[in-house]
């Protein structure tokens, strides 16, 4: 690959490796800054010596890579709130007792069934100046309180630290929040909140006001609510009010990416503005004016869309594409791509761990690299056929590139993705053009019906098409097991295969065969690891008991009849099966006695009955049995007591106190999450 021969590629690669190393290793900042100084000195020395031909240029290249690596580490450290001394997480007892918190609302999130949710920045803790971001959960009430972005609030409450998943192989929301520099959540009732008379009028305040004005004007124009919610997501990047049914349809049809403003949307804006500016002459001055108008248009769209992370990175990426075209470097798009990656990560290194960032850049890279190869397989002379073929090849290139990563994160594959893209891309281009025009005019208080109605109809038909494709569930492959080693080996194979296809020769074919062997080794290693595992898991499931015993990839389910009947639809169980490359072999009702690896488990349900003279190693309490635990311990002396989420919380507190008195370990799944025996 020629791209790897670019010096900028090696610098970016070293920089990215440095960010990854800092993220996982969390090194000491003082040590890192010392090594940065040493690497900078090494670069200066090797540059001087190589200029005098005293050493080979290879050493200068190595010093450059080393310096970029340590710049990546220091960038991650300096942008990580964890290392900021005034961040709230370093405040004594911040997670243990109530404190007076002064916060500013920064972003509105999708509400839950019980709470309105916001991202807020912390200004003060008690009387000390502080920093950091939290999620504010305001309990819904009959008055339906809503707060504006930029509102300053005072709340006396205890911050809740992010908790890991309550069940195995579930989405790790705490890790997701940590990647966004959010380390805690705050819960409050509306009447507990003091609202300041002052507003923090920053860019987030003004973009929120602008979006609110646009939405209010569209609602006044009697824009259909369902279509309006989709339009707001497509143009403004706000998905809060879209129904779960519509989101599911877009997921199943392989089009969920269009509901969040990303590279696809910004690309349409770039093409549309470039098309409008065609009459301007391509002189040096005319080309510069075009560039300024394009960059201004992208920036304005980014502001309208709320400057969300996905919007910022897409605007930055296509701004560099526009600059590259202006400098007549469109033929070397790889440089443009690498520069945009480097600039974005210099200012926000946490984007590297964002799924949207990874998918966007991988999709764009494969479109640039693979699409010309696919397009050359057939050269239609008919313009319509060529247009359809170009859409298909772009769609296939992006899907091939993102396929391993999509399966790794989402464990499903929409088989009709090419049909979806073939239909929606022309329609989406119309929606984007109409949508941006309508939104801009709505910002000035004018919503012309001759533009708003076609936009509404276009979104209506888009939803209908997506729903029709999503209804063909036989083409959707669900619950695909995939781990990191398979992800890595899949990309090695994919890259080697494309390199061979571009210019076939024996050495490249050998490389393809080697990557196939690596894939097989990854698969066999995964299978061997699974086959040699045994574990029993007691899940955290509200008001129910769910236990699994896994021997290799065979899972036995123990639960009540209500769970057994709908086990195929149980998301907690399915996540466990997919994450462990397993299948459900048997389903059984829970008995009072169970055995696992020589350990006896006594299970008490609501009846509180159990066999006499039993000596269990583990006591599992379910369905709130009416028992006197102290009296039970006189005859039954377990090594540990477990209580799942089917028990009342008040009873669990009494059990916990009794166990502490008897010095017997106590594990409540509602408090500590699932319990695993292996």
In terms of DSSP bridges, do strands 675-677 and 666-668 run parallel, antiparallel, or are they unpaired? unpaired
Q: How confident is the model at residue 298, as a pLDDT?
A: 85
The H-or-E segment that residue 116 falls in is strand 115-125
Residues of the chain below pLDDT 50: 1, 330-331
Q: Which of 678, 592, 596, 674 is nearest to 636 (CA)?
A: 592
Same-domain check for residues 284 and 224: yes
DSSP labels for 576-635?
A: HHHHTT-EEEEEEE--SEEEETTEEEEEE-TT----TT---SEEEE-S-----HHHHHHH
Q: Rounded to 5 degrees, what are φ and ψ at 237? A: 70, 20
- The answer as to whether 205 is a domain residue is no
Same-domain check for residues 229 and 135: no
Q: How confident is the model at residue 547, as a pLDDT?
A: 93
74-102 pLDDT, tens per residue? 999 988 888 888 889 888 888 888 899 99
The alpha helices in 233-306, defined as continuous H runs, are 244-252, 263-276, 284-304
- The answer as to whether 612 is a domain residue is yes
Same-domain check for residues 195 and 230: no
Q: How confident is the model at residue 139, as a pLDDT?
A: 87
Same-domain check for residues 104 and 166: yes
Q: How confident is the model at residue 4, as a pLDDT?
A: 55
Q: Which of 195, 235, 658 is nearest to 459 (CA)?
A: 235
Residue 645: domain span: 534-677
- The answer as to whether 643 is a domain residue is yes
Structure tokens, 5: 């021969």
Which one of 52, 79, 106 terminates a domain? 79
How far CA 208 is from CA of 148, 161, 170, 549, 651, in Å, comes to 8, 28, 33, 50, 46
Q: How confident is the model at residue 43, as a pLDDT?
A: 87
Same-domain check for residues 551 and 652: yes
Strand stretches in 126-270, DSSP E:
128-129, 133-139, 151-157, 160-161, 182-189, 193-199
Same-domain check for residues 490 and 353: no
Same-domain check for residues 423 and 275: yes
432-483 pLDDT, tens per residue? 888 888 888 888 888 888 888 888 898 888 889 888 888 887 788 888 999 9
Q: How far is it, in rounded angstroms, from Cα 501 to Cα 506?
A: 12
Q: How far is it, in rounded angstroms, from Cα 669 to Cα 675?
A: 7
Q: How far apart are the first and last CA of the chain?
A: 46
Q: How confident is the model at residue 421, as a pLDDT?
A: 76
- Number of structural domains found in the chain: 5
Structure tokens, 605: 């349900």
Same-domain check for residues 425 and 514: no
Same-domain check for residues 346 and 401: yes
Alpha-carbon 64 to chain mean position: 32
Residue 92 sits in a domain whose CATH number is: 2.40.50
DSSP labels for 402-471?
A: HHHHHHHHH--EETTHHHHHHHHHHHHHHHHHHHHHHHHHHHTT---HHHHHHHHHHHHHHHHHHHHHHT
Q: How far is it, in rounded angstroms, from Cα 424 to Cα 461?
A: 10
Length of the chain: 678
Q: How far is it, in rounded angstroms, from Cα 475 to Cα 473?
A: 5
């Amino acid at each position: 690959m020629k791209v790897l021969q670019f010096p900028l590629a090696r610098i970016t690669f070293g920089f990215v490796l440095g960010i990854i190393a800092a993220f996982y290793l969390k090194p000491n900042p003082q040590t890192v800054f010392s090594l940065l100084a040493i690497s900078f000195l090494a670069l200066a020395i090797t540059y001087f010596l190589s200029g005098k031909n005293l050493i080979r240029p290879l050493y200068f290249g190595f010093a450059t890579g080393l310096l970029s690596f340590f710049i990546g580490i220091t960038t991650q450290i300096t942008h990580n709130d964890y290392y900021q001394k005034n961040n709230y997480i370093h405040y004594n007892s911040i997670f243990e007792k109530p404190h007076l918190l002064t916060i500013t609302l920064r972003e509105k999130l999708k509400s839950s069934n019980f709470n309105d949710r916001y991202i807020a920045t912390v200004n003060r803790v008690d009387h000390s100046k502080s920093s950091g971001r939290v999620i504010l959960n305001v309990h819904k009430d009959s008055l339906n309180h809503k707060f504006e972005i930029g509102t300053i609030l005072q709340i006396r409450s205890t911050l809740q630290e992010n908790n890991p998943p309550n069940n195995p192989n579930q989405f790790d929301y705490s890790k997701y929040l940590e990647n966004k520099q959010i380390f805690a959540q705050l819960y409050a009732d509306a009447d507990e909140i003091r609202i300041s008379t002052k507003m923090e009028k920053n860019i987030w305040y003004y973009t929120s006001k602008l979006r609110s004005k646009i939405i209010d004007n569209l609602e006044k124009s009697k824009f259909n609510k369902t279509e309006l919610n989709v339009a707001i997501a497509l143009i403004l990047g706000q998905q809060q009010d879209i129904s779960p049914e519509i989101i599911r349809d877009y997921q199943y049809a392989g089009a969920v990416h269009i509901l969040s403003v990303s590279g696809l949307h910004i690309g349409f804006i770039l093409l549309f503005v470039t098309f409008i500016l065609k009459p301007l002459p391509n002189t040096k001055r005319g080309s510069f004016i075009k560039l300024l108008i394009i960059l201004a248009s992208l920036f304005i769209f980014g502001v309208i869309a709320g400057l969300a992370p996905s919007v910022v990175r897409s605007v930055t990426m296509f701004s560099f594409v526009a600059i590259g075209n202006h400098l007549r470097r469109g033929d070397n798009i790889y440089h443009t791509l690498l520069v945009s990656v480097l600039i974005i990560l210099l200012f926000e290194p946490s984007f590297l761990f964002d799924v949207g960032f990874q998918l966007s850049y991988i999709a764009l890279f494969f479109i640039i690299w693979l699409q010309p190869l696919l397009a050359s397989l057939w050269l239609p002379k008919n313009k319509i056929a060529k247009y359809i073929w170009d859409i298909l090849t772009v769609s296939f290139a992006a899907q091939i590139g993102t396929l391993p990563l999509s399966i790794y994160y989402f464990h499903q594959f929409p088989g009709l993705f090419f049909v979806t893209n073939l239909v929606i891309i022309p329609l989406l281009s119309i929606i984007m053009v109409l949508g941006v025009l309508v939104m801009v005019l709505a910002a000035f208080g004018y919503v012309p019906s001759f533009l708003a109605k076609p936009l509404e109809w276009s979104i209506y038909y888009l939803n209908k098409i997506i729903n029709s494709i999503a209804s063909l569930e036989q083409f959707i492959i669900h619950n695909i097991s995939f781990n990191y080693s398979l992800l890595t080996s899949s990309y090695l194979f994919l890259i080697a295969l494309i390199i061979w296809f571009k210019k076939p020769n024996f050495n490249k074919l050998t490389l393809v065969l080697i990557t196939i062997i690596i894939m097989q080794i990854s698969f066999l290693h995964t299978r061997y690891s699974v086959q040699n595992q045994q574990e029993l898991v007691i899940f955290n499931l509200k008001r129910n008991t769910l236990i699994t015993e896994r021997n290799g990839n065979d899972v036995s389910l123990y639960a009540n009849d209500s769970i057994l009947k709908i086990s195929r639809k149980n998301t907690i169980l399915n996540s466990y099966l997919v994450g462990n490359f397993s299948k459900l072999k048997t389903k059984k009702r829970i008995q009072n006695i169970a055995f696992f690896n020589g350990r006896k488990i006594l299970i008490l349900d609501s009846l509180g009955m159990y066999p006499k003279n039993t000596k269990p190693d583990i006591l599992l309490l379910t369905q709130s049995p009416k028992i006197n635990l102290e009296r039970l311990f006189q005859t039954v002396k377990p090594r540990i007591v477990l209580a799942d989420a089917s028990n009342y919380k008040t009873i669990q507190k009494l059990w916990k106190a009794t166990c502490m008195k008897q010095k017997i370990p106590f594990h409540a799944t509602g408090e500590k999450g699932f319990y695993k025996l292996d």
